[in-house]
Amino acid sequence: MVGDELTRASRREHALYGELAAVYRGILEALTDERAPVDPARLAAEAARAEAATRALAVLDSVLAPLRRAGRAPAEVLALWQASAALAAEAAVTNRELLSAARARQARIATRCAALGAGRQALAGYRPAGATTVAVDRRA
């Protein structure tokens, strides 16, 4: 890989790390917005985007890693690699934050479900033995 090809691959890598960081930020926002329910379809689509970016980055890494280890590249490419490393670090931090947010939201949901289950059991205790629920039309 030489010259323009190396620069194009390095630009692509930089763009993919930027996309990955943006996807992770979007998922994090969805998980931390308590005013809105989490849309599973949106999360699935964002997860698919993250997976696609990760796969593309793995392919690029297999090509760029040996060149990075050699340490010889044009200044523009070296600058792109540094910028990509910063974006990769940002994406990693955001990924850890979103995992933590997902676990916290999951714990809150489990707590709410447990409270609802306890309430349902308490209400069942007030129902007379053998009673069935019957709908009554009070308008009649």
Domain ranges, ordered by start, for the chain: 3-101
The predicted structure's pLDDT at residue 56: 97
CB 21 within 8 A of CB 91: yes
CA distances from 9 to 6, 19, 33, 82 (A): 5, 15, 36, 14
**Digitized pLDDT (tens) for each residue of the chain, 140 residues in all:** 678 999 999 999 999 999 999 999 999 999 898 888 888 999 999 999 999 999 999 999 999 999 999 888 899 999 999 999 999 999 999 999 999 999 998 888 888 888 777 777 667 666 666 666 665 666 65
> Is this prediction's pTM over 0.85?
no
Q: Could you give the dihedral angle defined by the CA atoms of residues 14, 96, 26 and 28, in that order, rounded to the nearest 10 degrees?
A: -170
Which of 119, 1, 129 has the alpha carbon at shortest distance from 59? 1
CA distance from start to end of the chain: 84
The predicted structure's pLDDT at residue 38: 85
Which of 54, 4, 3, 1 has the alpha carbon at shortest distance from 24? 54
The predicted structure's pLDDT at residue 29: 92
The predicted structure's pLDDT at residue 41: 93
What pLDDT digit, counting tens, does each position of 2-19 carry?
789 999 999 999 999 999
